[in-house]
């Protein structure tokens, strides 16, 4: 099933599942950490402010930018917001879909920030000019369709992801990654209930109900877990007024079930 950018009145989605690649480096949580996993972990206090992707399908770029900014703060490097539009353009360039707001694959976003880096958003500011709702095609002058200037690519080289791994779909590895102090990006299948006023108010997502409609795919950043509730804490990119100050929780089962989630990636080191 193809999961692409979806247009609605307020927010975009935009996750497309990765294709299998045996060259991916798999993350392995430290054995010492796995032996004594804490019952909960919460990285929210170390996270940058929650972004708002607006009405375009740039969720992968938003989640990856958040992971990069988190790592820069963790490494005590100069803090800045990575240009989400720069990342989203380069993802679509890899996928040869620059004129279209079709979303992107997480792996392509990871590859782009590893090779090209990400310039500060002060150099290539965010713009959520919507594409045509029927064709997903941006008008020629829309900023999301424009290639960033060469100065952005030059500066982006200074800010690259130099260590990243794919996280296996096991509860121990996911929890081990978070307990070790690092978030992970992932994509999940979005059902009708995710757009409800209740989720926007409570930030508590349940498993999809039978016959509930699929509305798209969305990339987010896992930043914690709690064994008592058997839920992950997840950072969204719909602004801080949505959910629990921009965050929500989802059941362990959501991330452990095929066709409900996929493409778990952690960025471990940035320059």
For residue range 195-211, what is the model confidence (pLDDT) as tens digits? Answer: 999 999 999 999 999 99
Contact (Cβ atoms closer than 8 angstroms) between residue 186 and residue 263: yes
Does CATH number 3.10.129.10 belong to domain 26-270? no
- The pair of structure tokens assigned to 71 is 């790592």
For residue range 217-240, what is the model confidence (pLDDT) as tens digits? Answer: 999 999 999 999 999 999 999 999
Radius of gyration of the chain (CA): 17
Residue 10, pLDDT score: 53
The one-character DSSP state at 39 is: S
| Domain range list for the chain | 26-270
Contact (Cβ atoms closer than 8 angstroms) between residue 66 and residue 235: yes
Length of the chain: 271
Residue 6, pLDDT score: 44
150-173 burial: b if 16+ Cβ within 10 Å, else e: eebbebbeebbbeebbbbebebeb
For residue range 21-50, what is the model confidence (pLDDT) as tens digits? Answer: 888 899 999 998 899 999 999 999 999 999
Higher pLDDT among residues 242 and 20, named by residue: 242
- Residue 216, φ and ψ in degrees, nearest 5: 160, -165
For residue range 168-189, what is the model confidence (pLDDT) as tens digits? Answer: 999 999 999 999 999 999 999 9
Residues of the chain with pLDDT > 90, as a percent, come to 89
């Amino acid at each position: 099933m193809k999961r692409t950018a979806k247009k609605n009145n307020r927010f975009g989605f935009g996750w497309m599942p990765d294709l299998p690649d045996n060259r991916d480096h798999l993350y392995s949580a430290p054995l010492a950490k796995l032996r004594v996993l804490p019952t909960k972990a919460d990285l929210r206090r170390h996270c940058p402010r929650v972004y708002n992707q607006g009405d375009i399908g740039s969720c992968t770029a938003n989640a990856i930018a958040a992971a990069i900014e988190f790592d820069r703060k963790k490494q005590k490097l100069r803090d800045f917001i990575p240009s989400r539009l720069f990342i989203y353009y380069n993802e679509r360039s890899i996928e040869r879909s620059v004129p279209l707001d079709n979303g992107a694959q997480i792996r392509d976003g990871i590859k782009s920030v590893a090779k090209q880096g990400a310039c500060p958003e002060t150099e290539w500011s965010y713009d959520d000019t919507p594409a045509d709702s029927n064709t997903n095609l941006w008008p020629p002058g829309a900023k999301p369709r424009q290639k960033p200037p060469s100065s952005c690519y030059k500066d982006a080289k200074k800010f690259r992801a130099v260590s990243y791994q794919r996280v296996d779909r096991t509860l121990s590895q996911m929890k081990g990654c978070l307990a070790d102090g690092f978030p992970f990006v992932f994509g999940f299948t979005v059902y009708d209930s995710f757009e409800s006023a209740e989720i926007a108010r409570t930030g508590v997502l349940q498993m999809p109900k039978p016959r509930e409609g699929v509305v798209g795919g969305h990339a987010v950043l896992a930043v914690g877990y709690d064994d008592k509730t058997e839920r992950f804490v997840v950072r969204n990119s719909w602004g801080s007024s949505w959910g629990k100050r921009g965050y929500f929780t989802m059941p362990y089962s959501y991330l452990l079930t095929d066709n409900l989630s996929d493409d778990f990636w952690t960025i471990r080191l940035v320059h």
